């Protein structure tokens, strides 16, 4: 039976996301205490795969995930899933809205429900917690110093809590993207609607290095869907770039761009090719399909062979 | 007397950084409970300026600061300061290393002292806290469930704690950059060694929009020292770019690049021109000094005037 | 009365082109023996304007015109005209096709009627002449060693010759573009459908100098309609670029591009802004109209003025 | 015995250039009446190779050569030679400078000796001739209407003429570059200091097509040493680009750039890879040697193979 680790505790967005994936149906789902721990379980063979959050339409990328995948190696992304994020106000069984004086939640979630709170609980005190699921779980603790939690609704179910209000986020279309990570190996077969994730380390003494990278993609007609800069932990202003591109390592245009990057970058880390969650096929400009690459190679072969 | 808010509580890196600035010498320093609160104090006139963390060589940018400055407006950066980050293991008076079984600290700080801990306290349990200074302050609470904190040494002094070990970080040259923020107004005069911070919102339906932005800088010889992508909170994959460039809004090359960006971007938010902490003057390529721009303008005037 | 010089002798394409222009209606038209002589007449005040050939859809640019305008200065283009090129076989009065054994024409014209000649006069000998009109004029010379000329039909009329065959060119849509040149001065007013001609001298020790030039145009949304490289007469491989762009020196995007080029090029020679022959208005990308430039300037003024 | 055609008549620069080449030592040298005729002799098997002029530091490229090679196909460049151009004033035996009243020469040569003539023969009349060697040969004709010719000194020797003045050109370092052309076949082996000549036909309805071409070279670190625009003979403003690049078709960076161009251009015509006359090896940026390409391919193979 496949074992899939996820960022716990039970009731997090990660578990909710995982349960939407076909591969989770017959798998053992194992909560991990941190992104780091979930990935370590895969590296150590305690799990076959791990589902970890990658980016969020409200808060941005998840630095820990990017950095762990980019710097430590050995793992690749094999699938992704995107989940709508909604928040609920949950309380221990029987508590009513009027008796809520103190709420615990993660500061990011707090930022997203600020509007609802000022309209409905203008006097409430909000305490910071390390995760929304942790805030929910804490409600089971008799010595807690708060009355309610803002978290995903799934947490109410898991911890036996009551939902006082659903979907209280200010931004109605917030989403979180999770990636399914496995030990380094052969990529899933290309589907025609794939993404590839890379970590690119540039030479910082070369002005225009970022422009050079974008040109490597642009010349081969490879579209970028995400670019994040992350510090290399060496010095202020020393970044690497975490990048998602459209296409699969087995696509000719992606392969040539990867080789080009490998030649101009200090380092290129390949973090996997995998099917896109939305199944959207790339709109390619003229001259960059596999057939175009093959035809050009045949043309060159004839020129040289004469 | 000038009032400067900073990210509290007392003993944070922010206070240590602020104390190194000339402008703090005769100012009233006011701790704020969050970056958001510090910035609100300036907006509301409760403080004249606020010092908030902008980026860290280990953890990267501080999303909250970037987002608050970029999206809410009304504030600009007027100065910056960079502080070396060192960590200490602190305990209540009289506690010895051998009796430390549980440590509290922020997960980022934990990541940075992992090496020291496994060498010196291999069995210790590490509990997550919301800030390193908060972990230190918590040692004053008799009901705390931990014995020591990893934080900046200044916190020991402020809270009357003992330092068991200094400079225990694994990366010796970690730095944090703070920015001093004021209400929107005239920028500090150009010094010849300045930076300008921008938030750039691009048209996402235009492939190559990021390339276009980089070209606007490149054509005017403007060097970029930092680029961060941040979600716009609208949809996954919808970013804005937080950018630092070399030069001052009153430099001709910067002014022309800003106008160019204003024409191609969905929105350009100007977040201030201010002296660089390191006083390093930019290395300019030929043809982009103020004198070069003035000479070209005079040349054009003559061509048209004849 | 305006005096307009043209590349003679009478009967050349240049005269035919000139007669199509409104400004020639009441002007004195003066044939010159060469492009050089026509331009000298303007420089010396012997003529007010000169019409000289600039490029030909079959033979390409006219190097002499490009070089004279680019290197010697003092003259600018104020108008242009495009004329369809057709060739005729002409003979002295009374000569029949069967008695034509030797033909004189310019080698370029020969190249363009090769097909007709092999079909209709397969055995004919073709002698090179310095111009097609010269070949026609030579038919008046009793000591000539040829029987017919290939030239523009207008030459038959001027020199009293018979036309044996009209429109004998192999390419039916050949055109020649002529420019009307005047002494340096204020450009004709912008019409909204204008061209500007430039000579750009680059730094040859800088790899990528041509890319840099194209970027100066591209960043301001200026389209190039012609680029020709011409030797600078200094060394092999040392070129200048003769360029036509869409727009008028008084257009903001053109003005900014010109100043940018002035800063990066060794030298920029402005050779005039003038109405396009075809009246075609440019298709501009977003953000590069005069209104866009004015709005960006106002935006910057406010940012700085606060 | 190898037969090499050259642009005649005897005494032209082409013959002088050919005599400097090792391959001409034991070859039969055959004058042709035009560039076209010389190339036809090779196509028809009447000659093995042809030496034709390609460009001149004073007059620029030789359009006929560019166009013949680019459009008709079947021929490739296999070698090049560069010759210093000097002019002499030649006369029939016994004629003295004081009796020279009329001179014949090609207009290009006239342009280059203008300075010497105004200083030494200010009253002389200059008649246009179709070639400088033709002007010299014409001096043998008793019915000629001129007294002297401006041509290469070698022509004096060939036609038994006197040299009245040597090296009378205004530009002391004028050069002409000739190319040796053969029937299409395997290119000469790479020497490490090679050039490749191409004709590139772009899609004219795509703005930025020239920028795209330059990027194909730039991304692979291929330097361009010559670019000429030439009309395609279809319409005004419809060009192809005649380009020389550093490197050999067997170099990995050149091969990949060629395939890239093949994919983005309407048509790419390969006109040969051959040793540079000056033996100058290219200065390559990091990451574009054959070893770099091989290493990147191996890296990719491993990524995919796992």
For chain B, percent of residues with pLDDT exceeding 90: 54
Does chain B touch chain C (at least 3 C-beta pairs within 8 Å)? yes
Mean pLDDT to the nearest integer, B73-93:
91
A302 or C64, which is more confident: A302
Q: Mutual orientation of helices B290-305 and C252-264 as an angle, nearest 10°? A: 120
Q: Taking a contact as any Cβ pair under 8 Å apart, which residues of chain A between 257 and 276 contact chain D?
A: 258-260, 262-264, 270
Asked if B270's CB is within 8 angstroms of C303's CB, the reply is yes
Asked if A82's CB is within 8 angstroms of B236's CB, the reply is yes
Most C CBs within 10 Å: which of D107, D227, D233, as the mutation test of the C interface?
D233
What is the pLDDT, as a whole number, of residue B128?
Answer: 76
**Digit-coded pLDDT (tens) for C66-103:** 888 887 778 999 999 998 888 999 999 989 999 999 99
Asked if D63's CB is within 8 angstroms of C230's CB, the reply is no
D196 or C114, which is more confident: D196
Q: Average model confidence (pLDDT) for chain D?
A: 88
Report helix, strand or coil for D128. Answer: strand
Residue C267: enclosing H or E segment and its boundaries?
Answer: strand C267-275
**Digit-coded pLDDT (tens) for B109-122:** 887 898 899 899 98
What is the pLDDT, as a whole number, of residue B14?
Answer: 82
What is the pLDDT, as a whole number, of residue B84?
Answer: 85
* Top mean-pLDDT range of B16-30, C100-114, D13-27, D241-255: D241-255
| pLDDT above 90: residue D232 | no
Report helix, strand or coil for C148. Answer: strand
Asked if A211's CB is within 8 angstroms of B214's CB, the reply is yes
Residue A17: enclosing H or E segment and its boundaries?
Answer: helix A13-18
Under a CB-based contact definition with an 8 Å cutoff, are residues B74 and B184 in contact? yes
| pLDDT above 70: residue B306 | no
What is the pLDDT, as a whole number, of residue B10?
Answer: 81
CA-to-CA distance for C7 and C176, rounded, in angstroms? 13
C246 beta partners: C195
Asked if B216's CB is within 8 angstroms of C263's CB, the reply is no
What is the pLDDT, as a whole number, of residue B59?
Answer: 65
Determine which of B54-63, B241-250, C36-45 has the lowest per-residue pLDDT on average: B54-63
**Digit-coded pLDDT (tens) for B234-257:** 777 778 899 999 999 999 999 999
From chain D, the residues in CB contact with C172 under 8 A are: none
| pLDDT above 80: residue C144 | yes
Domains of chain C and any CATH numbers: 1-85+174-185 (3.40.190.10), 88-165 (3.40.190.10), 186-306 (3.30.70.260)
Nearest to C296 among B215, B250, B259 (CB): B259
From first to last of its 306 residues, what are the pLDDT tens digits of chain A? 899 999 877 877 788 899 999 888 899 999 997 788 899 999 999 999 999 988 877 666 777 788 888 877 789 999 999 988 889 999 999 899 999 999 999 877 887 898 899 899 988 988 877 778 888 988 988 878 899 999 988 788 888 899 999 999 887 677 889 999 999 887 899 999 999 999 999 887 666 788 889 999 999 999 988 888 888 877 777 788 999 999 999 999 999 999 999 999 999 999 999 999 999 999 999 999 999 999 999 999 999 875
CA distance C112 to chain D (A): 10
From chain C, the residues in CB contact with D237 under 8 A are: 225-226
Nearest to D210 among C128, C227, C236 (CB): C227
| pLDDT above 90: residue D300 | yes
Report helix, strand or coil for A263. Answer: helix
Asked if A207's CB is within 8 angstroms of B223's CB, the reply is yes
From chain A, the residues in CB contact with B214 under 8 A are: 210-211, 214
CA distance B172 to chain A (A): 9
CA distance D233 to chain C (A): 4
User: Structure pTM?
Assistant: 0.86
Most C CBs within 10 Å: which of B77, B262, B272, B306, as the mutation test of the C interface?
B262
Asked if A184's CB is within 8 angstroms of D299's CB, the reply is no
B151 beta partners: B88
**Digit-coded pLDDT (tens) for C216-254:** 999 999 999 888 888 877 777 778 899 999 999 999 999
Question: CB distance from C179 to chain B under 8 Å?
Answer: no
From chain B, the residues in CB contact with A226 under 8 A are: 229, 237, 239
CA-to-CA distance for A253 and B25, rounded, in angstroms? 59
Question: CB distance from A45 to chain B under 8 Å?
Answer: no
Asked if B34's CB is within 8 angstroms of A107's CB, the reply is yes
From chain C, the residues in CB contact with B194 under 8 A are: none
CA-to-CA distance for D45 and D167, rounded, in angstroms? 38
Which conformational region is residue C272 in: left (phi greater than 0), alpha (psi within -120 to 50 degrees), or beta? left
CA-to-CA distance for A276 and A179, rounded, in angstroms? 11
Q: Which chains touch A (3 or more CB pairs under 8 A)?
A: B, D
CA-to-CA distance for D180 and D51, rounded, in angstroms? 4
For A299, the closest chain D residue by CA position comes to D259
For C55, the closest chain D residue by CA position comes to D236
- Chains B and C: how many Cβ contacts under 8 Å? 76
CA-to-CA distance for B113 and B125, rounded, in angstroms? 13
From chain A, the residues in CB contact with B235 under 8 A are: 57, 173, 175
Q: Which chains touch B (3 or more CB pairs under 8 A)?
A: A, C
Nearest to C216 among B219, B249, B303 (CB): B219
From chain D, the residues in CB contact with A185 under 8 A are: 306
pLDDT band at D174 (very low <50, low <70, confident <90, very high): confident
From chain D, the residues in CB contact with C208 under 8 A are: 218
Q: Taking a contact as any Cβ pair under 8 Å apart, which residues of chain D between 214 and 243 contact chain A?
A: 215-216, 218-220
What is the pLDDT, as a whole number, of residue C209?
Answer: 84
Question: CB distance from C116 to chain B under 8 Å?
Answer: no
Burial bucket for residue D119 (CB in 10 Å: 0-12, 13-18, 19+): exposed
For C271, the closest chain B residue by CA position comes to B303
C199 or B64, which is more confident: C199
pLDDT band at C149 (very low <50, low <70, confident <90, very high): very high
pLDDT band at D58 (very low <50, low <70, confident <90, very high): low
CA-to-CA distance for D200 and D210, rounded, in angstroms? 10
**Digit-coded pLDDT (tens) for D5-55:** 998 778 777 888 999 998 888 999 999 977 888 999 999 999 999 999 888
- Chains C and D: how many Cβ contacts under 8 Å? 92
Tokens representing C147 are: 């029987």
Q: Which chains touch D (3 or more CB pairs under 8 A)?
A: A, C
Q: Taking a contact as any Cβ pair under 8 Å apart, which residues of chain D between 93 and 112 contact chain A?
A: none
Under a CB-based contact definition with an 8 Å cutoff, are residues A201 and A239 in contact? no
**Digit-coded pLDDT (tens) for D149-168:** 999 887 888 888 999 999 99
Model ipTM?
0.86
Under a CB-based contact definition with an 8 Å cutoff, are residues C112 and C87 in contact? yes
**Digit-coded pLDDT (tens) for B147-200:** 999 988 878 888 889 999 999 988 767 788 999 999 988 789 999 999 999 999
Tokens representing B101 are: 């079984």
From chain C, the residues in CB contact with D108 under 8 A are: none
Q: First vs last Cα of chain A: how many Å apart?
A: 57
Question: CB distance from D289 to chain A under 8 Å?
Answer: no
For A263, the closest chain D residue by CA position comes to D287
């Amino acid at each position: 039976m496949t074992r899939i680790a996820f960022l716990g505790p039970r009731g997090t967005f990660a578990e909710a996301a995982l349960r939407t994936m076909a591969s989770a149906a017959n798998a053992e789902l194992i909560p991990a205490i941190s992104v780091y721990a979930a990935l370590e379980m895969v590296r150590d063979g305690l799990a076959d795969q791990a589902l970890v959050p990658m980016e969020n339409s409200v808060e941005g990328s998840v630095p820990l995930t990017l950095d762990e995948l980019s710097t430590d190696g050995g793992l690749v992304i094999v699938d992704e899933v995107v989940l709508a994020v909604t928040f609920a106000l949950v309380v221990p069984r029987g508590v009513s809205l009027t008796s809520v004086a103190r709420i615990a939640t993660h500061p990011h979630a707090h930022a997203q429900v600020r509007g609802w709170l000022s309209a409905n609980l203008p006097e409430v005190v909000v305490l910071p917690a390390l995760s929304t699921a942790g805030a929910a779980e804490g409600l089971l603790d008799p010595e807690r110093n708060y009355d309610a939690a803002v978290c995903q609704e799934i947490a109410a179910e898991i911890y036996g809590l009551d939902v006082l209000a659903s979907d209280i986020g200010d931004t109605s279309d917030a989403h979180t993207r999770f990636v399914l990570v496995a030990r380094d190996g052969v990529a899933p077969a290309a589907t025609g609607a794939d993404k590839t994730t890379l970590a690119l380390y540039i030479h910082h003494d070369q002005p225009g290095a970022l422009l050079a990278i974008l040109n490597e993609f642009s010349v081969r007609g490879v579209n970028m869907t995400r670019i994040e800069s992350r510090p290399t932990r060496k010095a202020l202003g020393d970044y690497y770039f975490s990048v998602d591109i459209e296409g699969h390592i087995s696509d000719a245009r992606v392969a040539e761009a990867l080789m080009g990057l490998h030649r101009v970058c200090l380092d290129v880390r390949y973090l996997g090719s995998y099917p896109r969650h939305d199944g959207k096929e790339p709109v390619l400009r003229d001259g960059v399909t596999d057939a175009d690459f093959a035809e050009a190679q045949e043309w060159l072969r004839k020129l040289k062979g004469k």
